[in-house]
Amino acid sequence: MITVKEYRGHIRNWESLCGELGIDTSLSREAREEAILSKAYAAWGYGMADHLHGMFAFALWDDEEEALFCLRDPFGTKPFYYYETADGKLLYGTMIRHIMEQPGFVKELNEEMLQLYLSLTYVAGENTFFKGVKKLLPGRYLLWKNGKLQIERYWTPQFHPDESKSLEDWADEIHTTLAQVMPEVKSEGETAESFLSGGVDSSYVLAMSDVQTVDTCGYEEERFDESALAAKTAKILNRRCMRTLVTPEEYFAIVPYVMYHMEQPLGDASAIVFAIACRDTAEHTKLCYSGEGADEFFGGYNMYRNAERYGENLKTFYVGNTNIMKEDEKKRILKHYREEVLPIGLVKEIYEETEGLDPLSKMSDVDIQIWLEGDIYLNVDKMSTAAGLEIRMPLTDRRIFDIASRMPSRYKVNEEQNKVAFRTAAAKVLPEEVAFRKKLGFIVPIRIWMADERYNRDVREKFHSKTAEQFFHPEEINAIFEEYIGGNSDNWRKVWTIYTFLVWYEEYFVKRQ
């Protein structure tokens, strides 16, 4: 007998799987998906993930083998953690807090992660800030049998450029495939809304869906506010637009909530806004779409245009989308610095996997394996779950990635544009002004808010706290803060990254000792 012990996610191709595995389609979603997991394991064993499309992490107990089988989807859209106790038991689950509640867990800080965090602003790789708690990385499965742990990789991003197709051919394939994926993203009877920014990704998802209401965030500071662009897109597509106004007071007030529910520190300033958006959206729907994945798959970031210039030097410095503190600065501010703990060590194997590929493919692969899992998908999962909202990401799909993996880099970025083929596909259902709109990113006015004495009181207090003294040389981090207040706005990310760690640490090791 196969028993589902843990499961979070949504299986997109459930209907075809039910037919293939002989499962009653009238079952409730929960019963149906549990049946799919147990019967897929019985039919295909460790290769079952090759038959599933969607977002998932799960644990199955096999009575006959007396073994535990745990699996995380190829991109890591849902988290999965495990911990071996001193007496030889395995604790596991999709929430660290649930593992912490179990007998045998010993809460200790893994201080080594702070050194990496100060560069990356998120937790990358298999280790976490809790000593002994590890992440099951994307595209892996875990076997636990007779007290022994085994991790195997079932999927690796691979790139094989196909030079035989034109730009229009690639755009057609993207569009046709997304049209195939979209009907699977929700079932008949479900009603969804969709997050909408001013960018092409969320606009394309909206245009391809039957969603009638979109949700967007804005600020009083017009130069940071994309909500007007979102409202304009919604009007063009004849959809209703709901706007959440994010104030600096609300932004700073919710930081402890975000760090607690994130379970690990995250220095991505947009995560706070996303938490507010999830909370407000959950008041009128329980299901929402979002557009993550296309940037990393199809060359969406402006820095990707520098890929050829970086060339072979990439493997000496490129560790993902963010790298905000260099080693000399970390050595100066940290009380405990270890020379051997370097961010570049996290991506060494990825560069070995991509040896011989063009620079853009290498950058994309690093971001798919490191940045997406550690920052983007973690944020989406944790903040939506905390709010009681389910988010589905149609563009994060193996079938979509398969196109990107075969597409030559010149159809992803050129001197004038990023996501060239993807935007060309989107233009089939969007006006060109939307499909080819310059990428703005999820901008937050934090660089001006945090310099304002009306809002930065807690930041200043944390920088002078006993917690700060435990990990940092106070005079050094306060010099960074004062330089920022004095006008060096480029320091805001360093200040914010230190601050989010201090807030997180107090949530887990001071308030909850």
- pLDDT of 441 reads 60
pLDDT digits (tens, 9 = 90+) for 180-229: 999 999 999 899 999 999 899 999 999 999 999 999 999 988 878 889 99
- Is there a domain that residue 471 lies in? yes
Average pLDDT of span 12-30: 96
CA 367, chain centre distance (Å): 10
Q: Report yes or no on 456 lying in a domain.
A: yes
Return the pLDDT at 482: 96
Cα–Cα distance for residue pair 268/270, rounded to 1 Å = 5
Closest CA to 365 of 347, 381, 377, 380: 347
Q: Rounded to an integer, what distance in angstroms lies between the CA atom of residue 218 and that of residue 226?
A: 6
Q: How many CB atoms sit inside 10 A of residue 11's CB?
A: 23
Domain-embedded: residue 407: no
Backbone φ and ψ for 327, nearest 5 degrees, come out as -65, -35
How many angstroms from the chain centroid is the CA of residue 90? 26
In a domain, 345, yes or no: no
β-pair type (213-218, 240-245) = parallel
Domain closes at, from 153, 176, 202: 153
Give pLDDT, residue 440.
66
What mean pLDDT is reported for the chain?
96
Q: Across residues 468-481, what is the average pLDDT?
A: 97
- pLDDT tens digits, 245-255: 999 999 999 99
- In this prediction, residue 181 carries a pLDDT of 98
pLDDT in tens, 74-130: 999 999 999 999 999 999 999 999 999 999 999 999 999 999 999 999 999 999 999
Identity at 198, one-letter amino acid code: G
In the block, which residue shows the tokens 């998120």?
Answer: 122
Q: Residue 279 CB: number of other CB atoms within 10 A? A: 18
Tell me what percent of the residues of the chain surpass a pLDDT of 90.
93
Q: How does DSSP assign 328-367, residue by residue?
A: HHHHHHBSS--TT--GGGGTHHHHHHTTTS-HHHHHHHHI
What does the DSSP 8-state code read for residue 137? Answer: P
Domain count, the chain: 2
CA–CA distance, 174 with 222 (Å, rounded to integer): 34
What value does the mean pLDDT take over residues 38-60? 98
- State how far the Cα of 221 lies from the Cα of 240, in Å rounded to an integer: 23
CA distance 22 to 375: 38
Mean pLDDT (whole number) for 376-399:
98
Q: 492 lies in which domain range?
A: 446-510
Spatial contact of 49 and 141, defined as CB atoms under 8 Å apart: yes
Residue 379 neighbours by CB distance under 10 Å: 22
Domain boundary among 134, 153, 172: 153
Give residue 312's pLDDT.
Answer: 87
Residue type for position 88: G
CATH code of 58's domain: 3.60.20.10
The two three-digit tokens of residue 134, written as one number? 């590890």
Domain end (from 104, 128, 153) = 153
The answer to whether residue 463 is domain-embedded is yes
pLDDT of residue 120: 97
Rounded to whole angstroms, the Cα distance separating 317 from 10 reads 36
Residue position matching structure tokens 């593992």: 99
* Alpha carbons within 13 A on the beta-carbon side of 172: 5
In a domain, 57, yes or no: yes
- Where residue 233 falls among pLDDT bands split at 50, 70, 90? very high
Q: Does the residue 451 lie in any domain?
A: yes
Please give the model's pTM, rounded to 2 decimal places.
0.96
Is pLDDT above 60 for 442?
Answer: no
Q: Dihedrals φ, ψ of 9, to 5°?
A: 150, -165
